[in-house]
Each structure stands twice: as structure tokens, then as C-alpha cells.
Structure 1
């Protein structure tokens, strides 16, 4: 460590387990803890007052994680490669200094739920729920379609059976007609040439009728397809009318507003960072050196120096002020920082809203382009099908004319009565052959549809398995927040019961959190309860505000420990740091350390000499930094 907090330069090795930083106030213990925090990824540290550059390096398991600090006109610039990419969880539940959010929330009587849920990205969870819900709906539709296909299968099978019966019946009829034709032809005495001409004419009519049937079917299919395309064309045209032709102006306006808000947010974040640096700098002076650095207020620049008797000497006028006044000033700076953080949050919400609106406009513009492409494609398809219909109608008319001419040619042949009868028989045979061919076509189409249904039904097990998985994932997502809340409450209540028994507070029966569903809204609330007992052993509920400073500090530390356990902080953060526990007496500090020791690979705690003497002598001690 170099030039951080009150530390000029030092190199310290820590062993797993508990390490005690023993010393009086203003001996750089807090600066040392903040330096560990900085190496882990936190920005809650300050440069030494007389230095422009600083450095912290942390070596763990053969890897080194450096953080560098440089004083600039805009504040402290930080660089390097910290241990954690995101220190948020650690700052809430592992860095348990006096300003720790979990400890402060309990001490100030704030809502505890936002603190315990801070690391959970509820927005991402909701987006995942939306995505999986949409997929589940798709699967439900596909499974419903499979049910429809399964229900249709018996009907189609019955149709195939009926068609095969019809085909067999018509084949029998055709065989009878052919027998009649053979008998009639045997009775004829015309020349071979006449008979050949007649047979050729019959074959021609049969061929023409077969082609006419095919053309008629194709014509019907083309007309149906064109009709469907026209309906889809009308739907797209109607949708196009509801989509604005251009959203460019509106999008540019929203993007301009978003850019402006981002600039405001950046300015506020810079101010928040500067305030945080100022607060940390002055806190370090109070805790380590006994000197309060410079801070900026609306009335001007005032620089105070703390002295050992608890007063402050103004560098400008030399007057004396109480340390409490400096503490109040720092508190006002904290309040100002909190106000600006609230403004940053509000701006982030506005920026998110504008981003959503911009995305919606872009989606609408993309949708319009897609609709126009679909409309162009449909228009082209309609034109193509119209030409095909015209060609088929022309061919149909040609075939009808050819059939009429061929039949007229047959009728004009001067055959005997037997020839007229033979003509009728051939025409009937032609019709039967055509009908059989059509029945075969229908049967083949239905069998193809049945085969496709079987293929689709084979996917049912896969779709049902996917739907079951998604349903389980949705349940897990929807209950994740509730589960974490419940686990946090259970962890706190269990740990608090153990700690109270360990600490032996004579008149506290229980301190516990109740997770309560609100009457309105979508988030639960955490209510902190205190149950005391009188000399007769009767229990009664007391106000949280009536807790002693020692009791509040213990409650805050246990709440932080509950978050540490629920969020599995120990799996990613090897250190738990403790400071500002002087409100507890020495014996209780020793009990607290032995309890917390079991939950963190490295537990580093800053203690006054009289408190350090109460903890286990086997713990390594660092007395000079």
C-alpha cells in the first residue's frame, strides 16, 4: 500500500482466519481496511492528503490485483485490475465498516428489504419471465394443434377406408362396362379401319377429359390461393394504415432528450463521486489522523484541523469548533450525496423509459418495412397467380372445345344402333376411369396428410418435456425473489436467536424480521420486531428505536451476515472486514468475533487495545501499519 488514507507505505501479510488490527484511534486501521476494500474493487477509499498518487496491490493464490489512484482536478481517478468486477454485494455484506449499508439501515430504522435485494437484478428476472412465458404460449399452441391433429386422425382414416371402398366399387362397375364393350364390339361387322378410328376417338376423348380434370383442379387451387393472398393483402394494407409512415422526427426528439438526460446523469455521477471522495477523505482524517480535510459547502471553503481534545482549529481564522459540528457537516454531505443519488436513479428511470420508447419506434419502423416487403411479395404473387389462372382458363376452354369436337366427330360416324350403344359404353368407361383416378388422388392426399400428422405427433413428447421444463423454470423465476427474501428472513432470525443467546442481553427475548405482503404494490416489506421481557419473565413488544447502541450494532451486523449467507458472498469474496464495534463491551466483541469467524475465509477486525485483549490470544495481531 502506498499513499492511501493515512498510510504512507506498508506491506502486510494476512493468514486465513481472524486477524486483529490492534491500536488506538488514528493508527491507520480504518485506512488499512479501506485499502483491502479498494483492492477488492470498492471505490470507498481516499488518497493520502499530501499525495497525488497512490497504490494498493492484493496478492491471493498467486494472482496479483493492483489498484492505482491519481488526484485530478475532477477528483480521484482510479485504474487497475481489482479482485471483483462488481463490488456491490461485498460492499453490502462483507465490508462491515461503520458506513456499511446493512448496518446503517438497521441503525436508522430504514426499510431492510431494498438492502437485502440490492444484488438481485429483478428487471432481468422479469424479462426472462416474459420470454419464457411467450415460449410456453407457443408450446401450448403447438400442443393444442397436435391434439386437433390427433382428433382428426380417426376421421381421415375413415375417409381413406371409404375411398378405398368407393374405388373398389367403381373398379367392379368399370369391369362390367368393359365386358359389355367387348360383347358389343364382337357383334359389330364394321371394317377394321372404322373400328380403329372409333377406338382412337374414344382414347382421345378419355385423354382430353383426364387433362381437363387436372386443369380444373389446378384452376380451383390457383383461385383459392389468389383469394387467400388477396385477404392477406387487405390485412397488411389495413395494418400499414395504422403504422405511421415515418417516426424519424419523433425518434430524433426522444434521442435528443435521452442524450440530455445522460449528460445530466453523468454530471450528477461526477458530483456524487466527488462528494464520496470528500466524505471518505474526512472520515479517514477523523478515524486515523485526527485531521479533517477540506470540504466544499455553499457558504465557502472551510478547512478544519482536529486536535486531541475533541475541538477543531480552523485553518483560516484559528477559531475552535466542536468535533460534533464537523460530524454534523459530514452527515450533511452524506445527505447531499444521497439526494444526488436519488436524482441519478430518477434520471436512470427516465432514460430507461425513453430507451424503451425509442426501441418501440424502431420496432414500428422495422415492422412497416417488413409489411411493405410482404405487401410487394403478395402483389407479385397475386399477379403471377392471375396470369396462371388466365392461362388455365384458356387451356380449359381449349380442352372443352376439343372434347366437344371429338365427340361430335364420333357421333357423326354412320354406325348402326350398336355403334351408338358402344359410344355410350366407352363414354361411361371413360367417366369411371376418371372417377377412379380422382378417388386415387383424394386417397393419396389424405394418406399424405395422415403421414404428416404421424410425423407431427412424434414431436409431442419433446414439446411436452420442453413445456414442463419451462413451467418449472417460470416457477423458479417467479419464486426466486420470494425465496431469497424468505431465506434472508430465516437466516437473520436464526442467527439473531443464536447471537442473542451468545451475547446474553438480559432483557431482550427476541429480535426478528417479519416478511409481510403489502396491501398494495408488488413487493414485500420487512418489519423488524423487538420482544423484551421484564423481571417477571413476561414478554412484550418494544420499539426498534428503543434498542441501545450496542443492541442496534449487533442487529445490523447480524443482518449483514444474513445477506452474506443468502447471497453466498463467501464463494466470491474471501474477506469479511469489521470496524467500529466499540459500542459493544469487550466480552461481547470476543463472542461476536468467534461467531463470525466460522463464516469467512479471512476475517479482519479493527479493535482498540482493551477490546483486543478480550479476544482469543491465538489470533494474529497487527499493531503497526
Structure 2
């Protein structure tokens, strides 16, 4: 096949990655088996695929400062470049994934994979499954959704109450219209009387009285305007005073402060995270040491055992094998001398105890980190709320002061107008006593009726505006109810999202673990399952119930009786299988198959060949393209139809 040809199958080209100088490998959809002895660049090739997909867990060849990997997939080309710089390796290019988090956790199942190792290292299984989920963001969205729903509920309640007031408003409108009609009829009669009276009088000397009546009417109008403004201002002041009191009460109820300021908490969190990272590294190293020693003690690492036996044979004439069979001794793989196996087992046990101490200390650090995060969040929220309330209180107090000043001015204006009206009324009374003019009496009646009609028309206009506004507002109820329904559905989805992921993760693990155990036929291993329970932990100043995943291991004794075992008693093969199934559960629950076209498997040597073949077949049902690295003797047990890649 020429360089320009393509079959449509995935093709990976690698330069200076891991132990690879240069290679191009064409894969096929389905199962691809990288078969070969150790140190044949199989793991380097798997990491190259990871790099092309978006992972930064790639190392350059020891003698190279630059490297690259290119993935041709479904007519598209994805290329990454890696450069060694001071402080580490810098990547660039166009990977397949924008965010490789899910793939790193649940699709790239190499030996150091976090999800795969979570079981044997007794990590927080729930935390691993929930790591791609931004729980804090969901909780913030829940708070916002709750606020939105409350706002919609309040608005719907207000409009519903407004709707119930429409009949009384309509009744008030009809009453005003009738009253206006009657008053206008009476006004027309009085105007006719006035015109008739004027026709009868040849002259009048009552111009001054008419002027005073007009002035009195104008003053009364001004007084009514001032009284309305004063009433409105008083209502605003009462509303502001009520809001101010509520804000002051809320401010007083806020915690006075926290023992540590947020910056100090941030620093403490950073220190705790560094400590946890150090413990993680130490725990991983201990686990590797323990596993290596267990392999050496059981003789499963044949190459190293043969090398030690060969060295020992040169000095004792080849009696090593007999010594291993007849005595409880072994060859020390550090100095080559013969030691009691009890001594090695004792050392391994001490290492296990030390690792368990590290695990417990790491879990305690995780709880401390969660506690500090909760305290920091609470401190920030409280400080932000205190600042907001303080600003609003200050603004409200300023507005109250301004409105009280305006109210005082209106009081003075009202008193001034009332005093002027009293004087005008006295003057009008005096002028009326001096004049017996029937025309002036009619004029006074007309003026008062005109004032009454004007006031009624203003009231009618206000009521009609209120009805129109209410009808417009009420028309929004159906739309608001639809919005509230959407908000309720979103709130329900948010509240159940975390619970749903946890529940589906547990169900997926338990279902697939049962199926895999049935397929692999472990003799006395009855069941491995996860129970979703709760434990009480401290978050900030509160104690809350926090969900946890508790792993149960059930074995069957020779007499048929079942009993619960511990993780420490799982064989290496059983631990590896359990870790892989846990990673598969995360792969399925987070639907990683929709984002990542590959699943990668490596370091399966702890599992026997026949079981590896069944496990690969099981996993291949859920991945479009599965690539696994196996020793030749393990690869021989797999289906012959699988693609074999023997040279990289």
C-alpha cells in the first residue's frame, strides 16, 4: 500500500514517543492485539494513541527533544506535537478530544489508570466515579433554579391575587361612571339656572366674589395634589422602613466572622492538596513494591527468577531449584543471597500495614479538604451577603432621608395651602353675606359640581388604568406557569442528577461484576458488589450525610457457607479484574463510548490467559475499537479473528 492510500481504518503514526523511534500502525475496528515480549514498545504505542486523542500522559524518547503522533480517523487527521522544555513536556496541535478527563479515567485502562487502581488502593470509589461531574456547579445551579422558581411562584401568586381583584375594580368603574353621569346631569341643571339668573340680572357688582371663588377652587385643587403626593411619599417611606428592618435583621443574623480568613483557608487547602498528592505518590510506590515482592515470592515473574537462579547456580552448582522446593527459602532479589520466606512475608506484611496507614491518612486528608472547601465556600458566601446587605442598607437609609425631607416639605406646603384655603373661605363667606345675588349662589353650586365631576373623572381614569394594567399582567399567568413548570422540571433534574449517576454507577458495576465473575469462573469468589450508603461527615460548621460506595466481597467456604472477605485478601488477579470492571462501570455510566472511539488495555499479566481472552471478549462488546497489549502466550488464547499487530 502506498503512502497516499487509505483504507478508512484508524492509522497512527508516531515519532520519538516512549521507546519508539518512528512507526506507522494501521488498526481495525474491533479488537486489536499488540502481541510481543516486554520492552517491545507496546505500552509506548498505547500512550501514543492517548496523546493523539488528547491526553498529556505521554513521554518523549529519552534521546529526543521533540516528538509527534498523528491519528487518521474517519477521513480526519489529528496531530499532536510534544517538546521537551525546562520543567517538563509541552504539547501542541489538534487532538481528537478537547477535554480528555473522561478518557483518562475510564477509557485509557493502562496499569496506572486511576479508576482501575481505585479498588486495590482502597480509594474513595464514589469520588472517582463522580470526578468528571462538577458537583459544586450543579449545587450552584440548584440554588439558582430554586430562586427562579420562588420568583415565579411569587409572581404567579401576585397575579392570581390581582385577578381576584378585577370584579371589585369593575364594580368600582361602573359606580364611578354612574356617579359621573348623575353629577353631570345635576351640573347641567345648575348651569341652566345660572344662565337664567344672569339673564334676569341687568348688572352685578359681584366680580370680586367670583374671583375669590375661582381662587378658592384652584387652592383646593392644589391641596388635593399635595395631599396625594404626601400620601404616596408616606407609603414609600413605610415600605422602605420595613425593607430596612428586614435587611438589618438579616445582617445581624449573619455569622460575625470565621476563625480563618478566605486567603488563609486557600493556603491551607493548597497545603493539604500537596500533602495528599505526596501520599498518593507514596501509596502507589508502596503498592508497586508490594506487588513486585508478591510476584517474586510466588515465582510469577519468571524472567527475574530465572536470572537470579542462573546467578546463584554459578556459585552453588545448580542446587537452587532443589533448595526452593525442599526448604522454605527464597533468593533475595536485591543481594542474591538465600533468605527465609517468612522474613520476606513479614516485610511484605509491614509494607501492607504502612500502605494501609497511608490510605487512612489520605482519606483523612480528603475529609479535611472537603471540610476546608465547605468552610471557605460558606465564608465567601457570608462575606458577599454581608457586603450586599451593607450596601443596600446604606442606599435605603439615604433614600429614606431624602423622602423624609420631601415629606417634611409637603407637610409645610399642605399647612400653607390649608391656611390659605381657610382665609379664602372666610373671605368668600364675608362676600356672600354682603351679596344676596342669586347668580352668585348658582355660580358657587356650578363651581363645586365642576370640581366634583373633575375629581370623579380622575378617579375613573385611575381605575381604568388599574384595570388595563391588571388585565395585561394577568395575561402573563399562562406563560409564567409554563416557565414555572420548566423550572420545576429543571430543578428536579438537577436534584436527581447526582443521585442518578451514583445509582447507575453502582447498578452498572454490580451487574457487570456478576457477569464477569460468571464468565471468568473464580472458584470460591461468590460475589463482589458495591453498596451505596451514607456516612455523617463535617462540612464547615455543619454535620451532613454524605453518600459513599462500600465494596463488599463474598466468598464461599468448602462447606458451602458464604462469608464476607476484605480487599486485602483478593488475589492480584481478582483485584485487577475488579478494578477493570469498576472502570467499565464509569465508562458506561458517563457514556464515554459516545466521545472516545478507543478503549485501551494494558498490563493484564496478573490474569491467566484463558481469563484474559474472556475479559477482552466481554469488554469488546462495549467499545468500538479496543486495543490491548499482551504477551504472546496470552494473545494465543484470544479469538483468531482479532487483528494481531506483532511489530511496532
TM-score when scaled to structure 1? Answer: 0.77
Contact kept, 8 Å, 1:279 with 1:330, in 2: the verdict is no
CA gap 1:308/1:327 in 2 versus in 1, 3 angstroms: farther
Contact kept, 8 Å, 1:55 with 1:67, in 2: the verdict is yes
Q: CA deviation at 1:493?
A: 3.4
Cα distance in structure 2, aligned partners of 1:318 and 1:591: 38
Q: What corresponds to 1:361 in structure 2?
A: 383
Cα distance in structure 1, aligned partners of 2:244 and 2:120: 64
Contact kept, 8 Å, 1:69 with 1:77, in 2: the verdict is yes
Deviates further, 372-381 or 571-580 = 372-381
2:234 pairs, out of 227, 230, 242, with 227
Q: What corresponds to 1:70 in structure 2?
A: 84
1:408 pairs, out of 417, 430, 436, with 430
Cα distance in structure 2, aligned partners of 1:154 and 1:585: 84
1:149 pairs, out of 147, 152, 162, with 162
SS at match of 1:217: helix
Q: What corresponds to 1:87 in structure 2?
A: 100
CA gap 1:264/1:563 in 2 versus in 1, 3 angstroms: closer
CA gap 1:334/1:86 in 2 versus in 1, 3 angstroms: farther
Contact kept, 8 Å, 1:509 with 1:539, in 2: the verdict is no
1:165 pairs, out of 178, 183, 186, with 178
Unaligned runs of 5+ in 1: 245-249, 291-304
State how 1:296-307 maps to structure 2 within 5 Å: none
Answer yes or no: is 1:496 the counterpart of 2:513.
yes
SS at match of 1:18: strand
State how 1:518-557 maps to structure 2 within 5 Å: 521-529=544-552, 540=562, 542-543=564-565, 545=567, 548-557=571-580
Cα distance in structure 1, aligned partners of 2:557 and 2:376: 58
Q: What corresponds to 1:560 in structure 2?
A: 583
Q: CA deviation at 1:147?
A: 1.3
Contact kept, 8 Å, 1:143 with 1:460, in 2: the verdict is yes
Contact kept, 8 Å, 1:21 with 1:606, in 2: the verdict is yes
Q: What corresponds to 2:308 in structure 1?
A: 309
CA gap 1:544/1:337 in 2 versus in 1, 3 angstroms: closer
Cα distance in structure 1, aligned partners of 2:404 and 2:625: 75
State how 1:235-254 maps to structure 2 within 5 Å: 254=261
Q: CA deviation at 1:88?
A: 3.1
2:43 pairs, out of 30, 43, 49, with 30
CA gap 1:337/1:41 in 2 versus in 1, 3 angstroms: farther
Q: What corresponds to 2:71 in structure 1?
A: 59
SS at match of 2:33: strand
Cα distance in structure 1, aligned partners of 2:606 and 2:462: 87
Q: What corresponds to 1:451 in structure 2?
A: 468
Cα distance in structure 2, aligned partners of 1:66 and 1:309: 42
How many residue pairs get matched? Answer: 588
Q: CA deviation at 1:461?
A: 1.0
Q: What corresponds to 2:203 in structure 1?
A: 193
CA gap 1:381/1:561 in 2 versus in 1, 3 angstroms: same
1:375 pairs, out of 397, 420, 432, with 397
Contact kept, 8 Å, 2:49 with 2:71, in 1: the verdict is no
Answer yes or no: is 1:125 the counterpart of 2:138.
yes
CA gap 1:90/1:329 in 2 versus in 1, 3 angstroms: farther
CA gap 1:98/1:498 in 2 versus in 1, 3 angstroms: same
State how 1:272-351 maps to structure 2 within 5 Å: 308-309=307-308, 343=365, 346=368, 350=372
Q: CA deviation at 1:218?
A: 1.6
Answer yes or no: is 1:474 the counterpart of 2:491.
yes
Cα distance in structure 1, aligned partners of 2:604 and 2:88: 29
Q: CA deviation at 1:337?
A: 9.7
Cα distance in structure 2, aligned partners of 1:52 and 1:313: 33
Contact kept, 8 Å, 1:53 with 1:70, in 2: the verdict is yes
SS at match of 1:581: coil
Q: What corresponds to 2:595 in structure 1?
A: 572
Deviations 1:170-215 (A, max 9, x none): 33444454555566666x5x4x221xx54x5675455334423322
SS at match of 1:411: helix
Contact kept, 8 Å, 2:248 with 2:393, in 1: the verdict is no
Q: What corresponds to 1:212 in structure 2?
A: 219
Cα distance in structure 2, aligned partners of 1:207 and 1:306: 122
CA gap 1:319/1:215 in 2 versus in 1, 3 angstroms: farther
CA gap 1:539/1:167 in 2 versus in 1, 3 angstroms: farther
Contact kept, 8 Å, 1:67 with 1:80, in 2: the verdict is yes
Q: CA deviation at 1:138?
A: 0.7
2:128 pairs, out of 91, 105, 115, with 115
SS at match of 2:38: coil
CA gap 1:402/1:308 in 2 versus in 1, 3 angstroms: farther
Contact kept, 8 Å, 1:507 with 1:532, in 2: the verdict is yes
Cα distance in structure 1, aligned partners of 2:359 and 2:180: 89
Q: CA deviation at 1:449?
A: 0.7
Cα distance in structure 2, aligned partners of 1:319 and 1:388: 106
Deviates further, 360-369 or 96-105 = 360-369
Contact kept, 8 Å, 2:33 with 2:643, in 1: the verdict is yes
Q: CA deviation at 1:96?
A: 1.8
Q: CA deviation at 1:588?
A: 2.5
2:447 pairs, out of 425, 430, 438, with 430
Q: What corresponds to 1:104 in structure 2?
A: 117
Q: CA deviation at 1:412?
A: 1.6
CA gap 1:569/1:240 in 2 versus in 1, 3 angstroms: closer
Root-mean-square deviation (Å): 4.6
Contact kept, 8 Å, 1:261 with 1:351, in 2: the verdict is no
Cα distance in structure 2, aligned partners of 1:90 and 1:331: 33
Deviations 1:361-401 (A, max 9, x none): 35534543444344334433443454355345434543543
Q: CA deviation at 1:228?
A: 3.8
Q: What corresponds to 1:463 in structure 2?
A: 480
CA gap 1:234/1:526 in 2 versus in 1, 3 angstroms: closer
SS at match of 2:261: helix
Q: CA deviation at 1:313?
A: 7.7
Contact kept, 8 Å, 2:194 with 2:442, in 1: the verdict is yes
Contact kept, 8 Å, 1:492 with 1:513, in 2: the verdict is yes
CA gap 1:452/1:236 in 2 versus in 1, 3 angstroms: closer
Cα distance in structure 1, aligned partners of 2:356 and 2:557: 39
SS at match of 1:64: strand
